[in-house]
Amino acid sequence: MPDPLKYAFNKASGITRQTALYAGNAFDRVFRAASLVQAGQTPFETLHTDGLVSLRYYPPLAEDFIELDGEMIDVLRTPHKTPIVIVPPLAVNMLIYDLFPQRSLVRFLRAKGFEVYLIDWGVPTRQHSHYNLHTYVAELLPAYLNRVREHSGEQELSLHGWSLGGMFTLFYSALSRDQHIRNAIVLGSPIDSHASGLMGLMYQRVSDVAEFVRKRTGFRLHDVKPYWFHTPGWANTIGFKLTNPIGSVMGYWELIVRLGDREFVSSHATTSAFLDRMVAYPGGIVQDAVVRLWIDNDLSRGQIQIGEDIARLENVNANLLAIAGDSDTLATPGAVKRIEDHVSSKDVTFRVTPGGHMGILAGSKAPKESWLEMADWLAERSD
């Protein structure tokens, strides 16, 4: 075959192969996305469930090494004495804690020698609309922590809470005065919601309107049945994405541009498996969060009402590590740092790390920017 014809043939063949690759990746991403998802691969045991909430335990890893962001780290076989309990926020699914085999928080903590437990809040339905802060902080959380203590044989525990999970951690410690909470790690948990940048300014304006309505009419959101505030998962997905609309759109644009990159397509499907499968908020939680955390900004004064009781942050005395994201629009560093003003902990560490609200927990920079330091901090305080 003459060289010009051979060149044209090879070029046409290359275009055909590339077209087939793009078409195949597009088909799989749209119609077979589940086959691309890498999340949720770390084995765990379910120790208890009440039909909605369950307790997970991650047993020792079988490997001697795990990959973390392109590097291999040793799996420690001698566990630290103090177990760590992950307290997730509501609305998210648990894939966020085990997002990729090489970027899995539960896998990393297990490799670093920690006994790892996780409380899965499940998928609330409208029959759970009455669940509120008291339900989770004063009823469910203490009951499940007791089960961790029974299984581990240890009284002292470390708690790890992201976003609302960090607030649950603080509220429980403040309300129960549990002296056996040795360490508390909170990420992206605003103590002064009115200080969270543009979001904070919006909360302040809503607070002014709410105060006006209260004085003129006496109306309170808690006067309405919580059933009407039940927020479905799809609404939470949209709301979360609207906190960074440009980033959400650019993510799909990048998918189109890099459709020929199978690894990127798989990564996009994995991240979407978390973002697109958010679960419902019970109506009682929405009422409590909107009024007490956002409108009235109670935590900025160091306390919050939980049911009929008052949880005071001054009762928190565990070793404390607070982490904020430098680009987090939901919980800015200034809003998170206010925790230092209220707790009684003698050992308090505050860090600002790269990333937004999700990025500080499971973003591509999280392993090297915060996980390694967190593991070292925890190890020094867990034996």
- The neighbouring-strand residues paired with 116 are 58, 84
Query: CB neighbours of 377 closer than 8 A, spacing ≥ 6?
Result: 321, 349
Helix (H, G, I), strand (E, B) or coil at 343: coil
Q: Are residues 24 and 48 in the same domain?
A: no
Range of the domain at 54: 36-379
Q: Rounded to whole angstroms, how far apart are CA atoms 338 and 20?
A: 54
Residue whose entry in the numeric block shows the structure tokens 């609302």: 164
Residue 8 pLDDT: 44
Q: Are residues 90 and 233 in the same domain?
A: yes
Q: Are residues 245 and 374 in the same domain?
A: yes
Q: How many residues does the chain have?
A: 383
Q: Are residues 80 and 163 in the same domain?
A: yes
Q: Are residues 26 and 108 in the same domain?
A: no
Q: Are residues 23 and 109 in the same domain?
A: no
CATH number (domain holding residue 132): 3.40.50.1820
Q: Are residues 24 and 141 in the same domain?
A: no
**pTM of the prediction?**
0.89
What tokens does 70 get? 């392109």
Q: Are residues 106 and 62 in the same domain?
A: yes
Q: Rounded to whole angstroms, how far apart are CA atoms 83 and 57?
A: 10
Q: Are residues 53 and 90 in the same domain?
A: yes
Mean pLDDT per 10-residue interval, the chain, length 383 residues: 49 60 68 66 94 97 85 89 97 89 92 97 94 97 98 98 97 96 97 88 86 85 86 78 63 67 65 75 92 92 94 97 94 95 97 93 89 95 94
109-137 tens-digit pLDDT: 999 999 999 999 999 999 999 999 999 99
Q: Are residues 216 and 294 in the same domain?
A: yes
Query: 263: part of which helix (H) or strand (E)?
Result: helix 262-275
Q: Are residues 356 and 302 in the same domain?
A: yes
Q: Are residues 12 and 57 in the same domain?
A: no
Total count of domains within the chain: 2
Q: Rounded to whole angstroms, how far apart are CA atoms 252 and 249?
A: 5
Residue 238 pLDDT: 80
Backbone angles phi, psi at 46, to 5 degrees: -95, 110
**Exposed, middle or buried: residue 264 (CB in 10 Å: 0-12, 13-18, 19+)?**
middle
